[in-house]
Structure 1
Amino acid sequence: MLFLLPPSETKLDGGSSGSRLDFAGLAFPGLQPIRRDVVGRLTRLAADESAALAALKLSPRQHDEVVRDRRLLDSPTMPALSRYTGVLFDPIGAEGLSEASWAWAERHIVIHSALFGPVRAHDLIPAYRLSHDSRLPGPSLRATWRGAVSSALAETGEFIVDLRSEGYVGLGPVGERSTYVRVVADVGGRRRALNHFNKKSKGLLVAALLDERPVLHDRGDLFAWCASRGIVVEGGAETVLVSDSLLDGAPVT
């Protein structure tokens, strides 16, 4: 089973001294030509700061994000699960994971980057800025990635739990052997979609999985494991995750 996560806009700087991006070392090697194309388009765009700020929907105060992109081929790398920060990734706490949890993450966690396509937890990547709706020169990111990402994920043969935002789903829909997770709050017996706590709930779910490292093959296994942890999920066309069962009484807004 694979848990497919969206990336985050916020990322740690730095990485291992002397390291550089190695396309051949990334998972899903069939995507290497597209990765090289998208990286090339982004670094060329970043040479023109004003154009890059517009294409990436950044303000002049975010100048450093363009510098990141300009230098990404020479920037140090770190594991993808450590690189991403923010509401979803902070509960995971990659810096504090045990060796056993890292091994489980490498086997079961995939992060869908707009720049690199799907990468595994240990894949070494530099800091960058590119979102699913960024406008690079040439074909749209949707046209560039959609078919190739869908094929690469299908070729794993794994059941996929899709925790991505809808914007990233557009860059590579998954097939029948999958379930899309939608997070809701239970407010007075009524279900309501969430924004901020949507990401946090997904991060807490992944953190719980990394803590226990269950053996899962299909949605039935996932539901049984969630029930054992008091995590409320419901079936249907999608998997509904009830945030209240993960947030320990945090106010839902």
Structure 2
Amino acid sequence: MLILLPPSETKQTGGRRRALDLDSLALPSLGPQRAEVLAALIALSNDADEAARVLKLGPRQRDEVAVNALLRTGPTLPAVDRYTGVLFDALDAPSLDAPARRWLKTHVLIHSAPFGPVGALDPLPNYRLGAGVRLPGLASPARHWADAVAAALATAAPPFILDLRSHAYVALGPVPGSVPAVSLRVVTDAPGGAVRALNHFNKQAKGELVRLLAVERPRIRSVAGFRQWADDAGLRVVGESGSAALDLIV
């Protein structure tokens, strides 16, 4: 089982003195794409006004231009500790014990905009870049990443993928057809037997789900196995047999 998570715009600052090492990140075949984005972001940071325009930063966010200037030399944190926000606050990875964190390392990729999918414990610097930002000198994000990420996921060959990413990040790396995969939508009961999708609680529920998986560390090798585990855990996961999407009802 491999879980794909979206990143978060908000991030923890600081970190350890260990600098970014692109060669150490998960899915090493993405090295060329990562290096190109890294170089473009650092070059862009040399012009604060242009960087603010390209990155769509408001007046109070202009200090974040300097963050990208330090991508190669700045302090790093494990990716799952770098990101904050609703999903990652619910996951609360820093409070997990060592076995649970090792489970995250083996089973979770977080899809960052500048580095593509990275391992949960891969050391990342702080950065500012959204999924839809086209950097000067590079193709659109989807053209830059999609084929390379799909190929890297195919090479990784997990037994199946649980895709918890937002649509913007799915576009930067669709799961190849050779890998069994299912996406998960978080919904709640609505009048008349219908369901409605959630926003804030969508992220919270996904974070809580990944935390529970890390704590219990089940051996799941198929969509059916995931649904059986969810049922045993008291979670309401529904969907048509063979469907590429499931609903988690909260």
CA distance in 1, matches of 2:110, 2:55: 20
CA distance in 2, matches of 1:168, 1:142: 9
The yes-or-no answer on 1:161 pairing with 2:162 is yes
**What's the CA shift string for 1:6-60, capped at 9, x where partnerless?**
00001111111x3111111111111111101001111111211121112112101
Deviation (angstroms), 1:181: 1.3
CA distance in 1, matches of 2:5, 2:74: 24
TM-score where L is the length of structure 1: 0.93
Equivalence for 2:21: 22
Equivalent of residue 207 in structure 1, options 204, 211, 215:
211
Equivalence for 1:100: 99
Equivalence for 1:238: 244
**What's the CA shift string for 1:130-152, capped at 9, x where partnerless?**
11111211211111001000110
CA distance in 1, matches of 2:249, 2:43: 42
CA distance in 1, matches of 2:185, 2:23: 34
CA contact (8 A) 1:53 1:59 kept: yes
CA contact (8 A) 1:53 1:66 kept: yes
Deviation (angstroms), 1:73: 1.3
Equivalence for 2:53: 54
The yes-or-no answer on 1:172 pairing with 2:178 is no
- Counterparts in 2 of 1:1-253, with a 5 A limit? 1-16=1-16, 18-137=17-136, 138-158=138-158, 159-176=160-177, 177-188=180-191, 189-236=193-240, 237-244=243-250
Query: Identity across aligned pairs (percent)?
Result: 46
Deviation (angstroms), 1:239: 3.0
TM-score where L is the length of structure 2: 0.94
Deviation (angstroms), 1:95: 1.1
Comparing 43-52 and 162-171, the one that deviates more = 43-52
CA distance in 2, matches of 1:187, 1:242: 14
Please, which runs of 5 or more residues in structure 1 have no aligned partner?
Answer: 245-253
CA distance in 2, matches of 1:190, 1:135: 39
Deviation (angstroms), 1:128: 0.4
Runs of 4 or more consecutive aligned structure 1 residues displaced over 3 Å after TM superposition: none
Amino acid at match of 1:6: P
CA distance in 2, matches of 1:68, 1:60: 15
CA distance in 1, matches of 2:99, 2:118: 19
Give the secondary-structure state (helix, strand or coil) at the position aligned to 1:89: helix
CA contact (8 A) 1:23 1:32 kept: yes
When the two structures are aligned, how many residues end up with a matched partner?
A: 243
